[in-house]
A and B are shown apart, each in its own frame.
Chain A
Amino acid sequence: MIMQNPVLLIAVPLLLAFLIPVFSSFFKGAVRFIPVLAGGFNVIAAALLIPQASGDVAVTEIGGWASAYGISLLFSSQIGYMILAVNLTALLAIFYYILNERDLGSPLAYPIAFTLALSGANGMIMTGDLFNLFVFMEMTAIAGYIIAVHKKGYLGTFRFVVLSSVGSAFFLIATASLYNATGFLNMAMAGKNLGALSTPFISVISVLFIMALSSEAELLPLNGWVAPVYRESSGAGSVFFASVFSGAALFAVIKVMLIVFGINYAYVHQGLLVLGLVTLAAGEAAAFKQSNLKKMVAYSSIAQSGLIIAAVAAAMRSGVLHNGLFNAALFQLINNILAKALVLLGIALLGQATLKEIGGAGTRKKWLGVFISAGVLSLIGMPGFAGFWSKLFLVRELVGNRMFVFTLVFLLAALFEAYYYLRFLQSLFLGKSTTAASLPKTSWVTYILLFVLAALIILIGFAPDVIIRAVSGLSLGGVL
């Protein structure tokens, strides 16, 4: 009964993180298991919470204060699946870190950063209050700074720090102005009181919010940090960025757009739509020429973020919420979280960095090749894998709503994405390596992590029913 409170998803990892310094002074060896504990607890808690959540949004008040004035958390079955996906990939990344990457920097800082990143991401997804969103954004961003530094990747992290700070500044200005104008920090209440305000105000506020959240969500214009950070960070770190941070941040943008601005402001969503499409096109274009694998995935991640935001914006811009398109975008987000984690873990296990160097690795390590292929084929949208259904639904909804330009950009981008990912698979299986370096040995336990993700992806690919029914149904009502 107590366990069914979503706050625990945030509070328990926080508690465990605070205990890490204590443990490190007395039981040094136990420190690395604490993030596992946090992640494991969260996954189980999320799995327990989902069955009793409904399609409507349930509000949890923190501190017992009325939700209009205090802070509240939102939870529904749709949010629950999002949380489950994010926490699951975080847990797998943490396992990977423990198994393979314990020689990273300070053995104290990384577990703290991972645990707090997990907590912050959950907070970003669930919170219903603007300033609370800011606080959790800061939490995840700073955890990100720590995670990004791995073997001295300082320049990329520095860029991340600067761009993220710029974003935070914009967010504060926007929040303060919004509070002053509407009188509430609670998203739903602020949204309700927006009606009386003038158009210039709303467009400026919305632009500030979009700019602020674009940094962590990997959208233009503040996503210049993505490629260097992915390239320099560790395997587990890159999974955190791709799945946990960007997933949580994207969901936060979607939440703000949906709850605060809602469907009545077409021009707000119009700008976001264009921004998303430009990000999509630019991301695919940049990825096309990459030979460094992690940068290739980084740009692809940018492009997918652009796609999801553009789809959500398109769903809201004509005065009526196109449920089908909105749900298809969320489905795509969840599929991407899983597939990107799988691909990035696989690339980290390959040990080599560029297309030429990994030549033929897939034949020497067959299972690794199979798992990576499952992730890549899902990203491309091949049938038998989860990504096929989300792409199919997106095309169906876009064509159904007569958004032909969007469809054209989307399919062109998908075309180029298929090209460079297929080129990657080709090199993986059929290439000839230019370095004689042998592949790092991986234990079978690590393969279990990859197996879990791949099995999920294939399961959703063959039986999309469960997820689709769960992902549908975020209603606008009941957020107060």
Chain B
Amino acid sequence: MSTLIFIGLAASLLIYAAARLSRPLGALLLMLLSGAGVAALILSWGKGFTETLPLGNGLELTFSLSTFNWPFLLLGAFVLFIVSLFAVNALKEMEHGASFLALLTLIGVSVMGVFGAYDFLTLFIFFELMTWTSFFLVSMGKTGAKKAALIYAFMSMIAAYLMISAIMMIAQYTGSFSYSDFMGMYEAMPSGIRTTVVIFFLAAALIKGGIYPVHFWLRSAHGDAPHVFSPVLSGLLVKYGYYSAFLFLLFFPVMVATKAGITQVTSTDGPNFILAFIGGLSIMAGTVAAILQSDAKKLVAFSSVSHGGYVILALAYGTNMAVAGGLAHIWVHVLTALGMFLSMGAVAYRTGTTDMDEMGGLIKNMPVTFTVYLIAIISVAGIPPLAGFVSKWMIIQALAANGSYILAFMAFFGSIGSFMYVFRPLATIFLGQRPHKFKDVREVPFFMQLAMLIVTLLTILLGIMPYYLLKPFTRIQEFIGMVPVKIGFSTVYSALTQLDMMLIFLVFGGGFLLALVIFLLFSKPTKVEQHEVYTSGEIAPEISTTPEIYHFSKGYYRSFGRLFSRWPSVEAWYHKGAAYISQFFEIIEQSLFKQSINGFIWLAVVVMAVLMAVRWF
């Protein structure tokens, strides 16, 4: 795998050169590279290896491919494949397209390194590589992206430094950086060190995964990043947070425990419950905040916060059903985030904006994009027969079966609340009145459609045949010693009942066909001009005169927003804190460095006196 890393590094230069010639060429190269990665990973299903790359002086990098990181590596290659496919056309007007593609390749390399690492040093090195490359990529977005990128980098560095402190504590205790040594000595570690290490890593995971209350960087970073990069941020980089939560909550402790069958890794009281609760809070906060957004991408960003909450909740909860559901939800979220961000990106590509209040009625102009978005939101909301339903069903089953009704309520709240926020872009962008300026908007070019359609197809297929979705994760469960969730080809068996997706799909499909037949046979619709749809030809006097501003979706959830207007906003706290620190720094500079000569002599004398006095007394 280390050769892959070097190939990747060389490829980034090659792709940069190719993209300077022609952007689509560069994007195609990246697509081929990541497609090859996807294929290679699928072919090596079930195989595993470990590989070491020595760096001299006793340091070495260790990589491995094994059951526990296969799904994550596949995820990385897949997201890059789809995004580069999308980028063949989407980068046309971007200012620094060639550097964008080169940095994107480097991100691919870093993600492979992070997920494929088998020791902490490798993990950290590639994590830092990921941070600075993604910093530049986020900065390339629209105005406001630069500030967002700085906050993102700042939070990522906090996560990085938490991690490096924990890693050095581990290294000091076990004498090496490798995972296997850590797992071997996990039990024997003094609980003080072990707790600190776990807490630090989990804090870093929460920051990187965008969980409430350290989620505030997500909104602007995902929202203002370039349209081609937001899916990578939300679909891939955030997954690092979930991955390290998985490692530290499950993989490490359980690998150490007996390999006998375990149905539940962690108890529902105590620290794990706190973490699960935080996940639940994140679900609720993300949902509410998403409802209040009026920018399409920022809305999707908050939905990522909410889905992160689901994953953390499920992983922290620890029963085998919850773990499988949480891990599966990671994949499901990738597909839905890709679907939503890509379709929003497609809309922005053609209309130039993501502000929902400016758009409307694009369903006739961009039917493919509409379908992609529709399927994505059905999955997000957890409506059968799509993949989102499977994972949410499993999580809620796990919560309900064990009697954790508060957490189950939080999960439900997320589901129901998501109806509200996912519907808004549908209604405001695709349905309703179409402004005149968007009359000639066309569908997006072929490659972009292809990328989106692949995602949609997978969402549908994995929903009908959840076996392919769940099998990798049940294998992980076997690998770490849990009793795996029982699954059939299209059925999932839980303690209470079973879920047969094929049956559900057939029922839904049958119902849809029935409705279609009835529609075609019986009703004769009357065709009207599109911009007379809402008012049925009448002009409401309290709105002013031109047809363009008949956008009844503006301020869509204003009444809902009034309910939550007094709630504390973590982002506001962060900004206030930042302002205080800024002022404090100003004072330091004034007092220590901007004095007159007299002032400096004073300073010197005082310091000297203090230093001498301290020893004296």
Contacts and interface: CB of A to CB of B under 8 A. Distances in A.
Interface string A211-222: 100000000111
A153 interface: no
A400 B169 CA distance: 7
Contacts of A99: none
Nearest to B156: A418
Interface stretch (B238-246, B558-566, B591-599): B591-599
B55 A282 contact: no
B49 interface: no
A204 B165 contact: no
A363 B56 CA distance: 36
Nearest to B154: A419
A422 B150 contact: yes
B164 A392 contact: yes
A200 B616 contact: yes
A396 interface: yes
A267 B613 CA distance: 12
Nearest to B609: A207
A127 to B, nearest CB: 25
Nearest to A467: B57
Contacts of A224: 592-595, 599-600, 603
A271 B129 CA distance: 37
A469 interface: yes
B589 A222 contact: no
Given A285-B584, A289-B582, A463-B56, A383 B150 contact: no
Contacts of A282: 588, 592-593
Given A285-B589, A383-B125, A465-B55, A271 B608 contact: no
A359 to B, nearest CB: 11
Given A289-B589, A392-B164, A419-B153, A220 B607 contact: yes
Interface stretch (A22-30, A114-122, A158-166): A158-166
A382 interface: yes
B165 A395 contact: yes
A339 B599 CA distance: 32
A392 B601 CA distance: 37
Contacts of A388: 125, 128
B57 A203 contact: no
B600 A429 contact: no
Contact of A468 (B57, B153, B582, B586): B57
Contacts of B146: 426, 430-431
Interface in B111-169: 125-126, 128-129, 132, 135-136, 139-140, 146, 149-150, 153-154, 157-158, 161, 164-165, 168-169
A458 interface: no
B589 A286 contact: yes
Interface in A249-301: 267, 271, 275, 282, 285-286, 288-289, 299
B604 interface: yes
A221 B595 CA distance: 12
Interface residues of A, number: 61
B154 A429 contact: no
A399 B616 CA distance: 31
Contacts of A426: 135-136, 139, 146, 149-150
B128 A383 contact: yes
A62 interface: no
Interface stretch (A48-56, A341-349, A407-415): A407-415
B612 A203 contact: yes
B615 A200 contact: yes
A377 interface: yes
Contacts of B129: 382-384
B604 to A, nearest CB: 4
A207 B612 contact: yes
A13 B589 CA distance: 38
A399 B165 contact: yes
10 contacts: A220-B603, A221-B607, A224-B595, A286-B592, A288-B582, A383-B128, A395-B164, A422-B149, A426-B135, A426-B150
Interface of A: 158-159, 162-163, 166, 199-200, 203-204, 207-208, 210-211, 220-224, 226-227, 267, 271, 275, 282, 285-286, 288-289, 299, 363, 377, 380-384, 388, 392, 395-396, 398-400, 407, 411, 414-415, 418-419, 422-423, 425-426, 429-431, 463-465, 468-469
Top 4 nearest A-B pairs (CB, nearest first) are A465-B56, A399-B168, A286-B589, A203-B615
Given A203-B611, A464-B55, 5 more contacts: A286-B585, A289-B586, A395-B164, A396-B172, A463-B56
Interface of B: 55-57, 59, 96, 125-126, 128-129, 132, 135-136, 139-140, 146, 149-150, 153-154, 157-158, 161, 164-165, 168-169, 171-172, 582, 584-586, 588-589, 592-595, 597, 599-601, 603-604, 606-608, 611-612, 614-616
